[in-house]
Amino acid sequence: MCFWAVEAKQDGAFVGAVGLLPVNYEAHFTPAVEVGWRIARRFWGLGYAPEAAAAAIRFGFESLRLPEIVANAGTANEKSMRVMAKLGMLRDKNGDFDHPLIPEGNVLRRQVLYRLTRSQWLARSATPSA
C-alpha cells in the first residue's frame, strides 16, 4: 500500500498522489487503512481525486480484500468531504476525532471520519448506474 503518482492524461503533468495507507496513529477506529489524496491546487475540481481514489478503493477491496477503508479530513474541508461522498463513503457522525498528530489549537486538529465497508462497496458496485 502506498500513494500512487497521478499524471494529467493530456501532457503527463504531475497532478498529485492518491492511494491507500495504514493509519499510523492510534484512534478509536484503528487499526485501519485509509484512502487519501494530495492534488495540486491547479488540478482541483477536475475529477482527479475521485477517479484515482475510486481506483485505490477498488484495489483495496478487490486485490487486498480489505474489510473497510476509511478517510478523514479537517471539519472545514468541504471539498474532501464531497470527494468522500462521491466515493460512496458514509460519514460516521459519532466518529469525529481530534487528530493526535496535529497540535492542539490547530484548526485542522478536529477531523471528520468517513467509512466504506467492502460489503457496502460491493452492493454499490453491483447496482447499475442510471
- State which residues form the domain around 11: 3-126
CA 16 remoteness from chain centre: 14
Number of domains in the chain: 1
Q: What local confidence, expressed as pLDDT, does residue 12 receive?
A: 93
pLDDT at 1: 84
Q: Is the Cα dihedral 48, 53, 36, 124 positive or negative?
A: positive
Question: Domain with 101 in it: what CATH number?
Answer: 3.40.630.30
pLDDT tens string 41-100: 999 999 999 999 999 999 999 999 999 999 999 999 999 999 999 999 999 989 999 999
DSSP code for 37: E
Residue with cell 487499526: 31
- In three-state secondary structure terms, 98 is strand
